[in-house]
């Protein structure tokens, strides 16, 4: 009998639910175990060492569920994928590489990258895109606050104010970027704000490309992804924001939604 795919998903908070939405659409039969470290969010304002320490703890917790693969849904954590992978005995997938590759090959000439200050400063998107397509023009901007505002379920006007004040200059650049990577998992949750205010720009969610790449890999491994799977969500933070974001993203109610400190 074919074994059901067991996917561990890590994010600094609710943001990785944007990946869960994408993977459920492609692999409804997988068992997904999610950990969102909302108590320590935002990761984007922490040191590399602290992010690694928190991620290793979260990975060990998910490995208790005998996952076949670990998905680093968080862009900030994904910038450290090489160090994480060399210390892990299960395969890990980064959200950054598939999106960078897709954009570099898409034929667009001017691309915006929005993310945490950490993600933008490390420059993984920039390096990966330029390695494939050195002619592409990149406009990059980080935010210290947007992920935390979304993770705390802040009022809409606070979210909108941060988007416009931090990202407005890039999004209003003349000539404007043709595509903009929402390079933080929390940003696609509020994609409607971006689209409403900047309708001429195409906003990309990196989780879409990651879900495609992971689905192909699971199939190559001969793991079952069709039929009826399960979703277990654990967080170090408050459960009500998760409930609200699950509804907003139209993700069916999980079998488990529990508080957990790994």
Which residue numbers are catalytic? 74, 184
Residues in contact with ligand DGL by the rule CB under 6 A? 11-13, 15, 41-44, 74-76, 115-116, 119, 147, 184-186
In angstroms, give the least distance from the CB of 181 to ligand DGL: 11
Q: Smaller CB distance to ligand DGL: residue 41 or 210? A: 41
DSSP string, the chain: -PPBPEEEEEESSGGGHHHHHHHHHH-TTSEEEEEE-GGG--GGGS-HHHHHHHHHHHHHHHHTT--SEEEE--HHHHTTHHHHHHT-SS-EEESHHHHHHHHHTS--SEEEEEEEHHHHHHTHHHHHHHHH-TT-EEEEEEESSHHHHHHTT--HHHHHHHIIIIIHHHHT-SSPPSEEEE-STTGGGGHHHHHHH-TTSEEE-HHHHHHHHHHHHHHHTT-B-SS--EEEEEESS-HHHHHHHHHHTTPPPPSEEEE---
Residue whose CB is less far from ligand DGL, 8 or 15: 15
CB of 234 to ligand DGL, least distance (A): 16
Contact by Cβ (8 Å): 61, 35: yes
Identify which of 156, 116, 181, 143 has the alpha carbon closest to the alpha carbon of residue 244. Answer: 156
Of 39 and 139, which CB lies nearer to ligand DGL in the complex structure? 39
**In this complex, which beta carbon is closest to ligand DGL, that of residue 16 or of residue 254?**
16
Nearer to ligand DGL, 171 or 207 (CB): 207
- Min dist CB 16 to ligand DGL, Å, is 7
Closest CA to 24 of 258, 177, 246, 262: 246
The least CB distance from residue 13 to ligand DGL, in Å, is 6
CB of 246 to ligand DGL, least distance (A): 16
């Amino acid at each position: 009998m074919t074994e059901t795919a067991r996917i561990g998903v890590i994010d600094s908070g609710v943001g990785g639910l944007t990946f869960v939405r994408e993977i459920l659409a492609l692999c409804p039969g997988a068992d997904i175990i999610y950990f969102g470290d909302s108590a320590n969010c935002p990761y984007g304002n922490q040191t590399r060492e602290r992010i690694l320490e928190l991620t290793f703890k979260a990975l060990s917790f998910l490995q208790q569920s005998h996952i076949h693969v670990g998905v680093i849904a968080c862009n900030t954590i994904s910038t450290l994928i090489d160090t994480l992978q060399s210390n892990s005995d299960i395969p890990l997938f980064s959200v950054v590489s598939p999106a960078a590759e897709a954009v570099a090959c898409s034929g667009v000439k001017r691309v915006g990258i929005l993310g945490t200050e950490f993600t933008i400063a490390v420059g993984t998107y920039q390096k990966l895109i330029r390695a494939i397509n050195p002619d592409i023009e990149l406009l990059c901007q980080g935010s210290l606050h947007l992920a935390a505002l979304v993770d705390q379920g802040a009022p809409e006007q606070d979210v909108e104010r941060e988007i416009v004040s931090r990202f407005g200059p890039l999004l209003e650049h003349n000539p404007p970027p043709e595509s903009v990577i929402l390079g933080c998992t929390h940003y696609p949750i509020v994609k409607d704000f971006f689209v409403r205010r900047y309708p001429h720009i195409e906003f990309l969610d990196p989780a879409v490309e990651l879900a495609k790449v992971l689905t192909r890999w699971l199939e190559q491994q001969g793991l079952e992804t069709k039929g009826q799977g399960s979703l277990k969500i654990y967080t170090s933070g408050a459960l009500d924001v998760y409930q609200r974001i699950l509804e907003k993203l139209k993700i069916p109610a999980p079998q488990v939604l529990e508080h957990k400190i790994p």
